[in-house]
Amino acid sequence: MVFAPAPILTVTIEKHNAEPQLHVHPGGQGVWQARMISALGVPVTLCAALGGEPGSLVETLLAQEEFDVRALPGRSATGWYVHDRREGKREQVAEHPGEPLERHDLDELHNMALIEGLRSSVAVLSGPHGPSVVAPALYERLAADLTANGVKVVADLSGDYLSAVLEGGVAVVKVSHEELIDDGLAKDDSVDALLEAGRALLDRGVEAVLISRAGDPALALYDGHECEVHPPPLRVNEHRGAGDSMTAGVVSVLARGGSLDEAFRTGSAAGALNVTRHGLGTGRGEAVRELMSRVRIEPR
């Protein structure tokens, strides 16, 4: 189960053969993660609240995805953005994070995600596009309820949302080095400082921590090991979404009962493949599995 409380509608203007092209897709961290998990052959259900005209369109677009969707018809309008990429760079034309979810919708969303989470071996908690849409308290409740009932919770969160799920209970945390620094959990981007932050997360009851570092090898702390995870060298086409694909790769292995070593190899391969493509959370499972053999995990 992927908990994506507030997906967004993404509208991108691009240029192909000197002509403008319009691309309209469902977006947001949870959507991109669910897409990659599905591509890796693991059944996945996305739980989200959708409202207003953008929400209606997102729901229609989600019906075309290869994963199941449980959509709560909310009272609050879904967020959106319009980006112009015709000159090769992403220019923001307009954006709205979405309206805050109302109390009744929050309760219904929690219950829906709890039911689907209890039907799953792994639950992924992904962040909203804007912090004003969903309060961190909902994440703490959901993490606590799922963990207490034996569901392995994976969190790809930062800030107050990460703090909330740590209070509730979480098995695996994936976080970027920038997020650790911004949250005051790491003093700088040195390996030593990031590993120290990872150990602090383990001390709070987390079983494993994966720290992405943009173009540098990720850091993994698990089962008493502290390692660097080296992805295969591939030319970057679009760096956005690599972290979400990494999380999806990890989850796809854990959902099948695989080891953390295999999970981190798969996550590294999925993240590396994503940067070669324009679409976020895209890529074929066959390509990810081929790249896995080229991932190196080296102890620190």
Going along the chain from its start, the domains and CATH numbers come out as 1-130+137-149 (3.40.1190.20), 171-300 (3.40.1190.20)
Mean pLDDT on 34-52: 96
Q: How far apart are CA 201 and CA 115, in angstroms?
A: 28
From first CA to last CA, the distance across the chain in angstroms is 33
Q: Where residue 300 falls among pLDDT bands split at 50, 70, 90?
A: confident
* Residue bearing the bigger pLDDT, 293 or 80: 80
* Residue bearing the bigger pLDDT, 261 or 129: 261
pLDDT digits (tens, 9 = 90+) for 199-243: 999 999 999 999 999 889 999 999 999 999 999 887 665 555 588
Helix (H) / strand (E) containing 249: helix 242-254
Q: What pLDDT does 280 receive?
A: 46
41 beta partners: none
172: amino acid identity, one letter: V
pLDDT digits (tens, 9 = 90+) for 110-120: 999 999 999 99
Q: What pLDDT does 236 receive?
A: 62
User: How distant, in Å, are the alpha carbons of 134, 157, 213 from that of 179?
Assistant: 19, 9, 10
With 0-12 / 13-18 / 19 or more C-beta atoms within 10 angstroms meaning exposed / middle / buried, residue 165 is buried
pLDDT digits (tens, 9 = 90+) for 48-66: 999 999 999 999 999 999 9
User: How distant, in Å, are the alpha carbons of 152, 190, 207, 266, 297 from that of 126?
Assistant: 14, 26, 18, 19, 26
pTM: 0.91
Name the residue among 42, 36, 67 with its Cα closest to residue 284: 36
Residue 268 has pLDDT above 90, yes or no: yes
* Residue bearing the bigger pLDDT, 145 or 132: 145
